[in-house]
Amino acid sequence: MNLYPASKFTYEELTDAYNETRVDYLVPMPMNVARLMEYCRVYDVSLEHSCVAVEEETVLGLGMLGVRQGRGWITRLGVLPAGRRKGTGTALMTGLVDAAERDNLDTIWLEVIKGNEPAHQLFHKFGFTETRELIVARRAPKTVLDESIFDKIKRITTLNHEDAIILLAHREERPNWLNETESQQNVRNLSALLVELKNGGRGWVTYHAGLLQLTRLIVEVTVGNPTEVAEAVLTVLHQRHKRQDAIAENLCEDEKWLGFQKVGYFDSFRRIEMKRPL
């Protein structure tokens, strides 16, 4: 088995290999070439730091590394059926950690789907420890909204992409890599809504509105009861986007999450965030 930088492979080859690693995965995550290219761009994935494991011209697995200001993020780690029980996952992790150390990164982060015990144990083996549990939530477009919420609202302000980035940069809560301001800056055409309540509560949501789905949802409560304000902000959002499915990634299980649930979001699956200092 040999490790090669992912930059030596085409996006088509990487996409094919990645999809083969997920044929029996806990959560199906099919990829196409355009989506993989966008993924690498948005999350600052460095193909030079990423690894592909090969044995006699057969790809056995791959792992990718995002790089930002002294930090690394391991993602899309997967082993093809032909590479299992051969130490492929260990070899890939060794290559990714070595690449991070060569670049003098301070910390490496990653997430593992809750319930994926083989991967979880592998990350423990490499010195990663849990930081928090994160929720990936979804909402169906036809979920009924509580229209009485609008009686509590004083003002709604629509904001553009640049305004959204300013809001994101001033968050108090530490975001996960997927939701960091650096990631959102790389997204095209973000929108935002600022909602003020009559009782003084205040909050906002940033999001990307696609034809069929709302993605990249981030809610922040700046004043007031987190559950009440989050519910109001999301009610406004979904009243304006009635036909779109919605997904919110890597939420914390806190009072804001209760607001998400009140407007119809449900827990799809969970990720465990982990880190390792270098």
Domains along the chain? 2-105 (3.40.630.30), 137-271 (3.40.630)
Confidence of residue 143 (pLDDT cuts 50, 70, 90): confident
Determine the average pLDDT of the residues in 93-110.
Answer: 97
Among 16, 29, 4, 92, smallest CA distance to 247 is for 29
Whether residue 27 is predicted with pLDDT greater than 70 in this model: the reply is no
Residue 269's beta-bridge partner residues? 136
Structure tokens at 51: 């690894």
Q: What distance in Å separates the CA atoms of residue 75 and residue 62, rounded to the nearest whole number?
A: 10
Confidence of residue 28 (pLDDT cuts 50, 70, 90): low
Strands (E), the chain: 2-5, 45-55, 58-68, 71-79, 107-113, 129-139, 153-159, 191-197, 202-209, 213-223, 245-251, 266-277
Determine the average pLDDT of the residues in 128-149.
Answer: 96
Phi-psi region of 127 (alpha: psi -120 to 50; beta: other; left: phi over 0): left
pLDDT digits (tens, 9 = 90+) for 38-75: 999 999 999 999 999 999 999 999 999 999 999 999 99
